[in-house]
Structure 1
Amino acid sequence: MTTARTAVALALHEAAEANGFSGVIRVDRPGEEPFARGYGLADRAHGLPMAAESRCGVASIAKGFTAVTIGALVDDGTLALDDLVRPFLGDDLPLVDDAVTVEHLLSHTSGIGDYIDESSGSITDYVIDRPLHELDNTEAFVPVLDGRPQVSAPGSRFAYCNSGFVLLALVAERASKTPFHELVQERVFAPAGMASSGYPRTDDMPGDLALGYLGDTDDRTNVLHLPVRGSGDGGAATTAADLHAFWTALFDHRIVSAQMLAVLTEPLNEVEDENMRYARGFWRGWESGTVILEGYDAGVSARTWHDPESSVTGTVIANASDGAWPVLEAVDWP
């Protein structure tokens, strides 16, 4: 019998085989054995194969971890969605409009200037103009975010903004008095049982972490494109199994309350260029209820999702800049 999990897994596997995919695919449905497989190489120079259990960088998928960390702080009263950001900034980042709220940052409607311009150039361009080794904690990103004028009035329009999620990390850190990486560990990874997830330094990588490559045949890695340790907009490393654990814990209300989950995943803006809708830290299907996180950066392309209707969760992570997209095209995304 063909189930929803079987059909999705088969389509992804066949596309992976046809496209020389390098990465990890996993598809789960309660009561069924997961489909989990590694493809290609985790380390091309040493010929190390990718395994289903390999840890990979996931770029902006980590924005979901930031969003639910904020949600957990709202649940316990440390923050509120309508809190103004300015009291947490003080004299820092004076060009951020005083009317910007936590809600604006979560929904990409803050209108603040972005430290990464995704509207031009290539994903493999060198876009950070400060020494990458300095960017090892969230406070260290403040000079990178500074000096970027407001581009629109808060709440006036949707504009995807990496700076907004670094700013969320900064607000979370200052409000909770807990370093951001520790906070995500306490509020997300630990309650979800995500034992293989974290924010490793690019100059101190664990042996089971796959290298990210700029192209399918270009053996240069992404180490000179990324901060030495990521923040609220990216930089997490995880496994496909941990992402399944994340979705399970999230929808079992072990990370945030049912009410907060509904708030975070409520579609707010239709984004035609992506053929998806955006909520607060999460994408939604254009017409379906599928909840989606997606990552794209030099050396990483990935998508993970949960379909509440079928209870299927899936993850495709490529350790190359564009490697996931030909595989994901095999699945219909309503």
Structure 2
Amino acid sequence: MLGDDLPLVADDVTVEHLLAHRSGIRDYLDEDALGDVSDYVMPVPVHELATTEQFLRVLGPCDAVFPAGERFAYNNGGYVLLALLAERASGVGFHELVRSRVCEPAGMVDTGFLRSDELPGSAARGYLAVDGLRTNVLHLPVLGNGDGGIYSTAADLTAFWDALLAGRIVSPERVAQMLQPRSVWAEGSRRYGLGFHLGGTTDRVWLEGHDAGVSFVSQHLPSSSTTYTVISNWSEGAWPVVDLLD
């Protein structure tokens, strides 16, 4: 599937390893080495990252940091690699796959990948701090990809959870596989499945994101049919509200 691209990705790395953040490949951005979230860290001009194929120049070398399956290590590059594999397997662009395979079946009418340099009036710009007007347009890829960057609403995230758990996006059997813990981390307070954070001892499942100009959590508790979603258009805005709801 990769051909001659990314030859340093180990032969024993599987799609499941990538989904579970257990691939062991080197990330294109080492989060442990990053400073402030508002630092300029992208290794190439952000306007050159508009397609999945364009990420190939930043994904390399993707050599092994540890053996595949050995442990959990959050890896943005692994999810861009998954997007690349999905494109090449299907012959359909990643952004179109998300629209047709996720957003449409879920009825997510206000969700999609938008270019940060041509946002419509209905989309919130991301700001680096609660004070000031400096946006994140020079900090992130101009168009999001497999590791994040989609635009959405709280209502659409509720629709997502309903559709996912009802089997309208993937089969219930696949959902069960995705929500099966693969790793325990953060001192046992949370676990991780395939693409989803899981509670350490509860049934809560959630998605979260944090980067320059954006912070986000959407959590669902199946036992009480409770969903909450917090979306902020500045880097640290979501966390006080999330703490209150928790």
- Same fold judged by TM-score > 0.5? yes
Normalising by structure 2, we get a TM-score of: 0.97
Partner of 1:134: 48
What is the CA–CA distance in structure 2 between the aligned matches of 1:241 and 1:273, rounded to whole Å? 32
Normalising by structure 1, we get a TM-score of: 0.72
What is the CA–CA distance in structure 2 between the aligned matches of 1:108 and 1:328, rounded to whole Å? 24
Partner of 2:109: 195
Partner of 2:143: 229
Cα deviations by residue, 1:145-177 (Å, 9 ceiling, x for unpaired):
012431011111110000000000000000011
What is the CA–CA distance in structure 1 between the aligned matches of 2:29 and 2:187, rounded to whole Å? 18
- Of 297, 318, 324, the residue aligned with 2:232 is 318
Cα deviations by residue, 1:24-48 (Å, 9 ceiling, x for unpaired):
xxxxxxxxxxxxxxxxxxxxxxxxx
What is the CA–CA distance in structure 2 between the aligned matches of 1:273 and 1:302, rounded to whole Å? 22
Q: Is the 8 A contact 2:179 2:193 kept in 1?
A: yes
What is the CA–CA distance in structure 1 between the aligned matches of 2:98 and 2:125, rounded to whole Å? 23
Partner of 1:298: 212
Which portions of structure 1, spanning 4 or more consecutive aligned residues, are displaced by more than 3 angstroms? Answer: none
Partner of 1:101: 14
Partner of 2:39: 125
- Of 308, 325, 328, the residue aligned with 2:222 is 308
Could you tell me how far 1:219 is from its partner in structure 2? Answer: 2.1
**Structure (1 or 2) with the larger CA radius of gyration:** 1
Partner of 2:192: 278
Could you tell me how far 1:274 is from its partner in structure 2? Answer: 8.5
Q: Is the 8 A contact 2:214 2:235 kept in 1?
A: yes
Could you tell me how far 1:273 is from its partner in structure 2? Answer: 5.7
SS in 2 for 1:329: helix
Unaligned regions of 5+ residues in structure 1, if any? 1-87
Unaligned regions of 5+ residues in structure 2, if any? none
SS in 1 for 2:206: strand
SS in 2 for 1:89: coil
Amino acid aligned to 1:144: V
Identity %: 55
Q: Where does 1:1-334 land on structure 2 (aligned, <5 Å)? A: 88-120=1-33, 121-272=35-186, 275-332=189-246
Cα RMSD (Å): 1.1
Could you tell me how far 1:275 is from its partner in structure 2? Answer: 3.0
- Report 1 or 2 for greater relative contact order, CA contacts < 8 Å, sequence distance ≥ 6: 1
Q: Is the 8 A contact 2:191 2:197 kept in 1?
A: yes
